[in-house]
């Protein structure tokens, strides 16, 4: 039961880490104003993530890490590979002759 909970926490942490990374891209026009807050949030999330991995027992850390890995694979699959495939389908040359 605790492994399932840590798997879900790992998913949530990966969502937060990706969101912290995307905040730099989203606020690039105001980066000079918010760089300290963005960097501090990303570093705090990374420190919390690493502390979870270091201080949990091996079986629980494994569940946490698998949650992060599962969401990362899902994110790459949905947001990058499928989007690239839809882009290629939309702009492929017309085969009608």
Determine the structural domain holding residue 30 and report its residue range. 2-90
Cα–Cα dist 19/71, whole Å: 13
Kindly report whether the global pTM for this prediction surpasses the value 0.85: no
30, part of any domain: yes
95, part of any domain: no
- How many domains is the chain partitioned into structurally? 1
Instruction: Report whether pLDDT(95) > 80.
Output: no
96, part of any domain: no
Burial of 68 from C-beta contacts in 10 A (0-12 / 13-18 / 19+) = buried
Decide if 40 contacts 94 (C-beta within 8 A).
Answer: no
Q: Which residue has the higher pLDDT, 58 or 27?
A: 58
97, part of any domain: no
44, part of any domain: yes
């Amino acid at each position: 039961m605790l492994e399932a909970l840590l798997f879900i926490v790992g998913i949530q942490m990966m969502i937060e880490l990706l969101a912290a990374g995307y905040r730099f891209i989203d606020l690039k026009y105001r980066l000079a104003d918010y760089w300290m807050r963005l960097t501090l949030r990303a570093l705090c999330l990374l420190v919390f993530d690493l502390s979870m991995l270091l201080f949990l027992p091996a079986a629980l850390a494994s569940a946490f890490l698998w949650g992060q890995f599962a969401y990362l694979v899902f994110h790459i699959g949905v947001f990058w590979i499928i989007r690239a495939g839809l882009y290629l389908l939309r702009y492929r040359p017309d085969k009608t002759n």
